[in-house]
Amino acid sequence: MDEHILNKFFEPEKVALIGATRTPGFGYGIPGFWKRHGWLEKAYLVNPKGGEIEGKAVLRSISELPDGIDLAVLMVPAKAVKGAIKELGEKGVKALVIESAGFAETGAEGKREQEEISKIACQFGMRLLGPNCVGVVNTELKFATIEIMDQALEKGEVGIIAQSGVFGNILLDHLPALGIRVSKVATLGNKIDLDEADFLEYFAQDPKIKVILLYEEGIQDGRRLIAALKYATEKKPVLVLKSGRTEFGKRATLSHTGSLSGEDLIYEGAFRQAGAIRASNLQELLYLAKAFTSQPRLKGKRIGVLTTSGSMGAMLSDALFEMGFELAEWSVGTLEKIKQVAPGWVNLKNPLDVGPSGIFGKALDALFSDPNPDGFVLIPVIPFAAIEPWRAIGFKMRDFFGEISKLRERVPDKPVITVLLGYEQFEKEMEELCGNAITVVHSPEMAVRVLAGLSAQKRLAD
């Protein structure tokens, strides 16, 4: 069987950069980036000016390239793209990322130019990603066709398919701070050949990818996308963010990636039917991604809540009600356990508000033994100044809140979300205490949106 063409994009043996430059600008950063990550030795740089970049000799023309280039990355001005593709085709290159912009997104002339490019590539049996994109990232091999921050190259389980280049790149910049680690990224741009359906199918088969994120502006072949979505959602969760939902948004996507974004209600229905989970905004998409890499499905509607702040508990309760959840009844056994340790002013309700009583860990122990809740939200927020004197005499966060991440092992089949708010250092240490098996968010509403996503997830075979 032939190798999948997308392997050439994500695991090339030899790669060529057409348009490498020695002066800052597009094409400048990549050679250095590749050098740092061991890719420059497998790379060929092309620029008519020749010379040397990062200690590597620069070829003056594509014709000087050796045979067997798996992937070529084009960073030349739009006008030079057509010629370059012909030459690459003649060299037998089958996989190409066109990062250059200035095609369909600029109007009729650009669209014509784009169509010609497509024809040429087709004649050579060449598969194209772009134009107007930044190509791909594969963190496992530390390979990328655009320079990104080292932090974003940490291996992870999220696959991202983003129509836009800059946006895909900004996401990569932003994710490490949220604790989201990526496996592979594809940015699509104007999609004259490879599109979201191709990458959905490919990512669905990739055992390293646990959840797929799809940012959509407009869809050319709706039937194919829906089929690909259905295929993918049978294997893993697929989260979708779609812009161009409204009149203004549609105009914006048209001038951005030349996409006709279509009627939103049709998309809404199609996404749902295909089993995809739609995020209503970027923040939600990102927190869902985080939750889906670590949390099990939410199998019911009954949520148990433990809080140190009555206000945050009330806000969470409002959000739970509005999204159709239930507040679980605590079992008699649970109430007995809490009574034994709680001061008199603690109300034995759900949300269980233990305030600054110091029984958070013990309460957690009791609640996690309760069979009633289908999932949990924890709100361990305490003013940092109030715990600082204790810390000065050796108290640790776990002394105030219990071994949260260890206790979490008691409910492996139920999602646990923590809402954190407060002093930066406090949030950081609490996040560490929660560990990777608990999803941390920063507002009651986001906790509930994440639960809603986990509740909408398909039951998957494995």
Window 237-256: residues binding its own copies (CB under 8 A) = 243-249, 251-253, 255-256
Is the separation of the CB atoms in 360 and 335 below 8 Å?
no
State which of residues 5, 11, 29, 398 lies at the interface with its own copies (CB under 8 A). Answer: 29
324 belongs to the binding site for its own copies (CB under 8 A): no
Of the ranges 203-211, 366-374, 385-393, 404-412, which one interacts with its own copies (CB under 8 A)? Answer: 385-393
Of the ranges 223-231, 271-279, 287-295, 380-388, which one interacts with its own copies (CB under 8 A)? Answer: 380-388
327 belongs to the binding site for its own copies (CB under 8 A): yes
Residue indicated by tokens 């597009």:
26
State which of residues 270, 421, 437, 456 lies at the interface with its own copies (CB under 8 A). Answer: 421
DSSP 41: G
458 belongs to the binding site for its own copies (CB under 8 A): no
What distances in angstroms separate CA 136 from CA 117, 209, 238, one per listed residue? 20, 15, 19
Q: Which two tokens stand for residue 351?
A: 């949300």
What mask, x for binding its own copies by CB under 8 A, covers residues 200 to 239? ---------------x-x----------------------
State which of residues 4, 5, 7, 26 lies at the interface with its own copies (CB under 8 A). Answer: 26
353 belongs to the binding site for its own copies (CB under 8 A): yes
Residues 35-74 that bind its own copies (CB under 8 A): none
Angle between the N-to-C axes of helices 444-456 and 310-322, in degrees from 0 to 180, rounded to the nearest 10:
40
Residue type at position 228: A
Question: 126 vs 316, which CB is nearer to its own copies?
Answer: 316
Question: 228 vs 315, which CB is nearer to its own copies?
Answer: 315
Residues 153-182 that bind its own copies (CB under 8 A): 162-164, 166-167, 169-170, 172-174, 177
Q: Which two tokens stand for residue 201?
A: 């199918």
Q: Give the 3-state secondary structure of residue 249.
A: helix
Q: How far apart are CA 410 and CA 42, in angstroms?
A: 48
CA 184 to chain CA mean position, Å? 9
Tell me how many degrees the CA angle 226-229-231 measures, rounded to the nearest 5.
110
Phi, psi of 396 (to 5 degrees): -110, 165
Which helix (H) or strand (E) segment holds residue 45: the answer is strand 43-46
344 belongs to the binding site for its own copies (CB under 8 A): yes
Question: 257 vs 418, which CB is nearer to its own copies?
Answer: 257
Question: 28 vs 231, which CB is nearer to its own copies?
Answer: 28
Of the ranges 53-61, 194-202, 339-347, 360-368, which one interacts with its own copies (CB under 8 A)? Answer: 339-347
Residues belonging to the chain? 462
- From 111, 59, 102, select the one nearest 79 (Cα to Cα): 102
